Structure 1
Amino acid sequence: MTDDESRTRRRRARPHTRRRFLTAAGAAGAVALAGCSAEQVDDGGDGGDGGGGNGTDDGGSESGDGGDETPTLTVATYTNFIDAPSVSPGEWLKGEFESRYDATLEWATPDNEVNYYVERAASGAGIDADLYVGLTTEDLVRVDGALDEDLFAEAGDVDGRDAVKEGLRFDPFERAVPFDTGYVSLVYDSTTTEAPETFDGLLDDEQAGALIAQNPGGSATGRAFLLHTISRFGDGGVASDGDGEAVAGGDGDPDYDYLDYWAELQANDVRVLGSWDDAYAAWSEGEAPIVVSYSTDQVFADMEGADLQKHQIRFLNDQAYANPEGMALFADADEPDLAREFMSFMLEPDVQGEIAQRNVAFPSTDGAELPSDYAELAKEPADPVTFTYDELQGSVDAWVEAWERQYAGN
């Protein structure tokens, strides 16, 4: 299938008639908020019956198009969105959505996240969810590269979508709607070290063993940091060996690329752990003074009453990698209209503010309702960088695989 054929296929939006699920004003108080904790559906990762829905053969609710049953919306996401060790928005979103809409919200958190649904689609199994929350640009590129048919549908008529900041819109086929963003940067304990100001500074002898990063093969945070090094140093033609285009890099040296940089990081004893959770926990326990994390780290630290001097932010070369998260409707959703209502709900100003605080991120819209001191704690880089969908297509897997081969061999 050519790129043009793929683009044409994905632009064919399903026709839909929008229905309203808002509770009537007089009935708002009757919506049950008891048991407001997130109702998780354990999809697991074994390719079995999966989750989402009520365990019936059709995997969906009985809301349908005319029943009196309260419709059930199944929203898939990553575990930390509803059950982080610190703070997360899922429980609040469930309670608030059910108080405003005549619907029940169930969360699904498969171990393999969106890859679980890619595997089910590839095997012809049902998806058993209506919406996915937490997609990145790299996720969409990988989904589209792995499947011949659409996993996600165009977003269509979603109120509030026009308020999303232009620079955060990452899906050229208008399926994913951004709901927040983060900037991947360094977080460091200034009571024990002073983080370098540049990428090159991480290679200095005094920074030996100082940095903890994440494996880009399995961590979105680690992948974003890897992509930042590619933006900075170029890819040495790795992508052009496959289906992608070579990246020259911003340092101007054609004989030095991201793999050279990572080889020097390894020589300087960088630690690469499997996930953001693992890396941040190791840093929190004092195993190293610097960790790859997010520039909103002080938001969480302030919530916990921590010493902000131990949660300082460093933007290498005044940059950070922008990593917006989006939500997208599954093409085979049982409740597409209700899913669009949920997407609109996620973009409302008060909800945007709550998501930002509870997901320790930046809102995707300008009108979010945030505390007055939020901007002081959530740091934004002077020069955010990111790769577009088109730039990542045919490249990101090659970049990660080349890094994995080199890292394993050193």
Structure 2
Amino acid sequence: MSFQKIGLAALVGFSTLVAAATAQDKPTLTIYTYDGFAADWGPGPQLKAGFEANCDCEVDFVGADSSIGALRKAQLEGPGTKADIILGLDTSVAAEAKNTALFADHNVDLSALDLPVDYGSDQFVPFDYGYFAFVYDSSKIETPPSSFEELAAMDDNFKIAVQDPRSSTPGLGLVLWMQAAKGDQADELWADIAPNILTVTKGWSEAYSLFLEGEVDMVLSYTSSPSYHRIAEEEDKYLAAQFEEGHYVQVELAGILESSEQKDLASDFLRFLVSQDGQKIIPTTNWMFPVVALDDGLPEGFDTPLPEEKSLILDDETVGQNTKQYIDDFFAAIGQ
């Protein structure tokens, strides 16, 4: 082999090593979240591409079966966890998450946020929100119940599917919704609604599948669920029943772990997440409302937010102290 060829081979080998080293030198931001967020059809891939275009870093979304699952994974891994951010927690578990002492202050300016409820936290950054609601097929039901009392008064043949509050975010949201709306009347109303509950599923997808298959008349979901059918499927028969007492708000949150070695980069990602570029991705990928007023408005066909007076929420402390009791009371009232 000639010296020229030896030199060329050495140069190629050196270039490969430099490229590999350069790739390794890029910091990696690891984000634990729920599977739907990290999925190809979720917000994760677009947020990853948008942030990586300017950060000279790599973003790695790691999906779990739920946001609580992501939190539990980080807890089990302890200080050695690879996670820099937990994304997808919500206000119903914020108090519990804060009490783990896993989370650092985010140092993100949240003054531009436009939420229907007051929410502020040094540890958690809101990135989207939605309202729990019962979704129905308007081609089959002309006049859906418009309150918990009307739901309780429906014939026993009128069936709904709800989710388990111990394993499902919407399931827990329903329990909190009833408590925020009805307080001391909650147990009595649950007992009256119990004959209408066909099943309590582990998660949202199982319950929604029952609804789409025609096994139940209504399913617990979100006011924005019909937006998906309208925009993605060009189907407008699915609607969300509007309850006179208002609807409970779910605010989804992201927090930086105290153990992260990339806190500045993590803060930058959260700033991008609540920027115009980040937020415009949310409506038609996560099918929730953005936390800032988008310059171009919501996508055509997307439902509008409810009036503030229809937005219900319990404070983190109340939820943290009473959730177990609310859940126990729910199951006792419906006889399970």
Q: Same fold per TM (> 0.5)? A: yes
Contact 2:283 2:289 in 1 (8 A): yes
Partner of 1:137: 91
* C-alpha distance in structure 1 between counterparts of 2:196 and 2:233, whole Å: 33
Q: Say which of 164, 167, 170 aligns to 1:218.
A: 167
Q: Say which of 269, 292, 310 aligns to 1:383.
A: 310
Deviates more, 1:259-268 or 1:109-118: 109-118
* C-alpha distance in structure 1 between counterparts of 2:59 and 2:241, whole Å: 38
Greater relative contact order, per chain length (Cα 8 Å cut-off, separation 6+):
2
Q: Say which of 71, 79, 91 aligns to 2:35.
A: 79
C-alpha deviations, 1:354-389, integer Å up to 9, x for none? 1122111111112454455255x3452551111111
Q: Say which of 274, 280, 289 aligns to 1:347.
A: 274
TM-score, normalization by structure 1: 0.70
How many angstroms does 1:167 deviate by? Answer: 4.7
Partner of 1:329: 256
SS in 2 for 1:206: coil
Contact 2:163 2:203 in 1 (8 A): yes
Partner of 1:39: none
Cα distance, 1:171–1:405 mapped onto 2, change above 3 Å: farther
Q: Does residue 266 in structure 1 map to residue 194 in structure 2?
A: yes
* C-alpha distance in structure 1 between counterparts of 2:70 and 2:298, whole Å: 37
TM-score, normalization by structure 2: 0.85
Q: Does residue 195 in structure 1 map to residue 141 in structure 2?
A: no
Higher strand share: 2
Q: Say which of 215, 228, 252 aligns to 2:177.
A: 228
Q: Does residue 153 in structure 1 map to residue 112 in structure 2?
A: no
User: Which consecutive residues of structure 2, in runs of 5 or more, have no partner in the other structure?
Assistant: 1-20
Partner of 2:300: 373
* C-alpha distance in structure 1 between counterparts of 2:95 and 2:258, whole Å: 16
How many angstroms does 1:123 deviate by? Answer: 7.6
Cα distance, 1:401–1:225 mapped onto 2, change above 3 Å: same
How many angstroms does 1:176 deviate by? Answer: 0.5
1:36-185 equivalent positions in 2, closer than 5 A:
69-83=25-39, 87-111=41-65, 113-118=67-72, 121=75, 124=78, 126-145=80-99, 147=100, 150-156=101-107, 158=108, 161-165=110-114, 167-168=116-117, 170-172=119-121, 174-185=122-133
Give the paired residue count: 314
Q: Say which of 276, 280, 297 aligns to 2:208.
A: 280
| Letter of the 2:106 counterpart | A
SS in 2 for 1:75: strand
* C-alpha distance in structure 2 between counterparts of 1:92 and 1:123, whole Å: 28
C-alpha deviations, 1:93-139, integer Å up to 9, x for none? 11221112211000112335335544653785522200111111122
RMSD (CA atoms): 2.5
Contact 2:131 2:223 in 1 (8 A): yes
Q: Does residue 312 in structure 1 map to residue 243 in structure 2?
A: no
Q: Percent identity?
A: 24
* C-alpha distance in structure 1 between counterparts of 2:116 and 2:151, whole Å: 29
Deviates more, 1:106-115 or 1:334-343: 106-115
Contact 1:170 1:389 in 2 (8 A): no
SS in 2 for 1:395: helix
| Letter of the 1:327 counterpart | A
Higher helix share: 2
C-alpha deviations, 1:280-333, integer Å up to 9, x for none? 111111111211111112221122334312x11212115111111111111111
Contact 1:216 1:222 in 2 (8 A): yes
SS in 2 for 1:128: coil
Cα distance, 1:135–1:117 mapped onto 2, change above 3 Å: closer
C-alpha deviations, 1:225-284, integer Å up to 9, x for none? 1111112221x4xxxxxxxxxxxxxxxxxxxx3122111111234432111111111111
Which of structures 1 and 2 has the bigger CA Rg? 2
| Letter of the 1:366 counterpart | A
SS in 2 for 1:73: strand
Q: Say which of 212, 230, 253 aligns to 1:302.
A: 230
